[in-house]
């Protein structure tokens, strides 16, 4: 697989690359080294793709390298299965990191020694305040009478002035497990009056007796993210630590730890995170959907996880195209999900095989068809790709058509079947409706009757005969039973987190966003493999799901054929 980061995307010039150019030109760094540092506490979602696409691409464009580092310092939420899923998803999108795979847990001893260094310098101390008391002492930002946010100074902990030797002794005993969980922390001594709350003596270590998925029970104290992250960057020689905008207020602390620990001077640069309408992009929020059973796991096709997108039928090329279009910014904004769907349609239009399937079956009987006769019609597999070739489709006297393609009493401008009207059957004949059968008890239409014109096969028609409607079909005797899963947006609101006071955003999940229907498909669908994509003509793009079993393929609708984004683009042009 070619590396998608091997060449810059169209319009790749941006503020981050300008910073990198300046750093190289000034001699601040001799080369470029970036990193993607996921925490293995969930599966990657499409928001993460913006981050690792940027880190891998910047490194490659400037002749550098990119590390994959797992920031695994929170043992109660982390697991090897998440590590495996993250690596699988990054590779699926086309990125490789070779030998540059690291884990923050490999640095636990070195991080401990950095903490000891800060204690010796008088820059860290052991505190006996509880978590709640620490938050209280640090203070909070409050608006004044002019509604201007002010941050009154915090209060020093009673244990802030402990001596160096006492702090060293207590910290060593914390490591040895002498104290209960949560009874003590190690805090940086910075400035309790600092306007940035992150600088008010942040916690560096906490006591937590949890078995770590990699190091077992070797440690009962674990470093906090704000302490571990900059020093892990420094230990790896990361030149440019690219992260999302919510870490901008943490940058002074990032720089403080690097400076006070006399470590490699990594530089943090922030960019706006990806937000998409009709979805939520946070592992914590997605975890809640999974744990509360509102979706069928992390790879539910309605989820914005890469595994969910892949199962739904998204391709790496479509996702990378989407990333190239949204660009970079320094302010947060919302991207319309219709753009992502548009990128998928454009890609699948070029690569997906065509097939016919009927999801709301209604029997069509051709009354003048020779009994027992079966013809084989030629169909193009993909009109955008000549190399895809053609296939043969069986045609007989009884077919399945869509129930919506017949109306007993047609509405205005209805060009499909109704009594007396003619339509063309895709790849086949022109047929004329002669009547229909109805269940007398329910009033439901059970079959449509028609006659065919033998001279109109495959587009031929005598005397330039034309009809306004063309419908799809499958031969009833040869059809493959299929299950189709039809998905809508998981949330009905564009901005799911913006809910009225007192309303839990999870309660707005659309419980009807997944519908399962049974239908019939043409014979070629029986040979599909998991992950194969098709355009079901007139219905949308579908992908074969891993749940499929021999004789019962299951298809997920990737996206409909209607493309509202393309209409917007044409208007703007």
Q: Which of 82, 87, 119, 114 is nearest to 100 (CA)?
A: 87
Instruction: Output phi, psi for 547, to 5 deg.
Output: -70, -10
pLDDT tens-place values along the chain, 573 residues long: 445 654 444 344 589 999 999 999 999 999 999 999 999 999 999 999 999 999 999 999 999 999 999 999 999 999 999 999 999 999 999 999 999 999 999 999 999 999 999 999 999 999 999 999 999 999 987 665 555 556 789 999 999 999 999 999 999 999 999 999 999 999 999 999 999 999 999 999 999 999 999 999 999 999 999 999 999 999 999 999 999 999 999 999 999 999 999 999 999 999 999 999 999 999 999 999 999 999 999 999 999 999 999 999 999 999 999 999 998 888 888 999 999 999 999 999 999 999 999 999 999 999 999 999 999 999 999 999 999 999 999 999 999 999 999 999 999 999 999 999 999 999 999 999 999 999 999 999 999 999 999 999 876 555 556 789 999 999 999 999 999 999 999 999 999 999 999 999 999 999 999 999 999 999 999 999 999 999 999 999 999 999 999 888 999 999 999 876 665 555 554
Question: Counting runs of H as helices and runs of E as strands, what totals does the chain give?
Answer: 13, 27
In the annotation, is 283 catalytic?
Answer: yes
What pLDDT shows up at residue 565? 63
The reply to whether 552 falls in a domain is: yes
498 and 530 in a single domain? The answer is yes
Query: What distance in Å separates the CA atoms of residue 408 and residue 564, rounded to the nearest whole number?
Result: 31
260 and 127 in a single domain? The answer is yes
Q: Which of 202, 195, 186 is nearest to 125 (CA)?
A: 186
Q: Which of 212, 244, 271 delimits the end of a domain? A: 271
Kind and range of the H or E element at 280? none
Kind and range of the H or E element at 542? strand 540-544
428 and 552 in a single domain? The answer is no
Question: How buried is 168 (Cβ within 10 angstroms: 0-12 exposed, 13-18 middle, 19+ buried)?
Answer: middle
Which entry of 17, 35, 162, 273 is annotated as an active-site residue? 273
**Ramachandran region of residue 187, left (φ > 0), alpha (ψ -120 to 50) or beta?**
beta
Which entry of 39, 248, 336, 494 is annotated as an active-site residue? 39
Query: What distance in Å separates the CA atoms of residue 409 and residue 259, rounded to the nearest whole number?
Result: 79
- Domain tally for the chain? 3
The reply to whether 238 falls in a domain is: yes
Q: Which of 271, 298, 322 delimits the end of a domain? A: 271
Which entry of 35, 251, 283, 416 is annotated as an active-site residue? 283
Q: How many CA atoms lie within 13 A of 30 on its CB side?
A: 2
Identify the CATH number of the domain in which residue 372 sits: 2.40.240.10
The reply to whether 462 falls in a domain is: yes
pTM, two decimals, is: 0.89
224 and 117 in a single domain? The answer is yes
The reply to whether 466 falls in a domain is: yes
Which residue intervals of 197-315 are DSSP H helices?
225-235, 251-260, 283-291, 306-312
DSSP 415-431: -SB-TT-EEEETTS-EE
Structural domain of 554 = 283-353+482-572
Query: Would you state the structure tokens that stand for residue 400, as one six-digit string?
Result: 């399945």
292 and 256 in a single domain? The answer is no
Query: What distance in Å separates the CA atoms of residue 141 and residue 347, rounded to the nearest whole number?
Result: 48
């Amino acid at each position: 697989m070619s590396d998608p980061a091997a060449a810059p995307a169209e319009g790749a010039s941006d503020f981050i690359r300008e910073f990198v150019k300046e750093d190289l030109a000034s001699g601040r760094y001799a080369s470029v080294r970036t990193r993607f540092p996921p925490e293995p506490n969930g599966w990657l979602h499409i928001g993460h793709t913006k981050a690792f696409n940027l880190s891998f691409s910047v490194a490659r464009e400037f002749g550098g390298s990119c590390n994959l580092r797992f920031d695994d310092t929170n043992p109660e939420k982390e697991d090897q299965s998440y590590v495996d899923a993250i690596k699988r998803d990054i590779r699926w999108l086309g990125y490789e990191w070779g030998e540059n795979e690291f884990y923050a847990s490999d640095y636990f001893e070195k991080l401990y020694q950095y903490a000891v260094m800060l204690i010796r310098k008088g820059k860290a101390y052991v505190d006996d305040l509880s978590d709640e008391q620490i938050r209280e002492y640090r203070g909070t930002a409050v608006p004044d009478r002019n509604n201007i946010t002010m941050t009154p100074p915090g209060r020093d902990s009673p244990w802030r002035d402990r001596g160096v030797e006492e702090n060293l002794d207590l910290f060593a005993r914390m490591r040895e497990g002498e104290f209960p969980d949560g009874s003590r922390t190690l805090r940086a001594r910075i400035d309790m009056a600092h306007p940035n709350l992150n600088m008010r003596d942040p916690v560096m270590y906490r006591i937590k007796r949890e078995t770590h998925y990699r190091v077992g029970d070797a440690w009962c104290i674990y470093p906090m993210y704000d302490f571990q992250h900059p020093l892990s960057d420094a230990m790896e020689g990361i030149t440019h630590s690219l992260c999302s905008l919510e870490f901008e207020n943490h940058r002074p602390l990032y720089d403080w730890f690097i400076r006070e620990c006399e470590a490699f001077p990594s530089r943090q640069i922030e960019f706006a995170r990806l937000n998409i309408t009709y979805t939520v992009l946070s592992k914590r929020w997605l975890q809640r959907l999974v744990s509360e059973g509102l979706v069928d796991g992390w790879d539910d096709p309605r989820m914005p996880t890469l595994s969910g997108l892949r199962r739904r039928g998204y391709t790496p090329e479509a996702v990378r195209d989407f990333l190239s279009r949204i660009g970079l910014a320094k302010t947060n904004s919302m991207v319309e999900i219709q753009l992502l769907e548009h990128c998928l349609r454009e890609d699948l239009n070029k690569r997906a095989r065509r097939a016919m399937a009927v999801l709301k079956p209604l029997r069509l009987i051709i009354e003048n068809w020779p009994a027992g006769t079966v013809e084989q019609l030629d169909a193009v597999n993909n009109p955008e790709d000549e190399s895809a070739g053609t296939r043969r489709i069986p045609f007989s006297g009884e077919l399945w058509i869509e129930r919506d393609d017949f109306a007993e009493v047609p509405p205005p401008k209805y060009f499909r079947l109704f009594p007396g009207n003619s339509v063309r059957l895709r790849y086949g004949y022109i047929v004329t409706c002669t009547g229909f059968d109805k269940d007398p008890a329910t009033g439901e239409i059970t079959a449509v009757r028609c006659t065919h014109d033998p001279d109109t096969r495959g587009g031929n028609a005598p005397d330039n005969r034309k009809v306004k409607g063309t419908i799809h079909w499958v031969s009833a005797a040869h059809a493959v039973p299929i299950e189709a899963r039809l998905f809508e947006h998981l949330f009905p609101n564009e901005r799911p987190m913006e809910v009225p006071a007192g309303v839990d955003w999870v309660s707005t999940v659309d419980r009807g966003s997944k519908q399962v229907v049974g239908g019939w498909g043409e014979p070629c669908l029986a040979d599909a493999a998991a992950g194969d994509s098709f355009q079901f003509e007139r219905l949308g793009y579908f992908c074969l799901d891993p749940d499929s079993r021999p004789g019962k393929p299951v298809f997920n609708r990737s996206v409909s054929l209607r493309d509202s984004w393309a209409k917007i683009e044409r208007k703007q042009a």
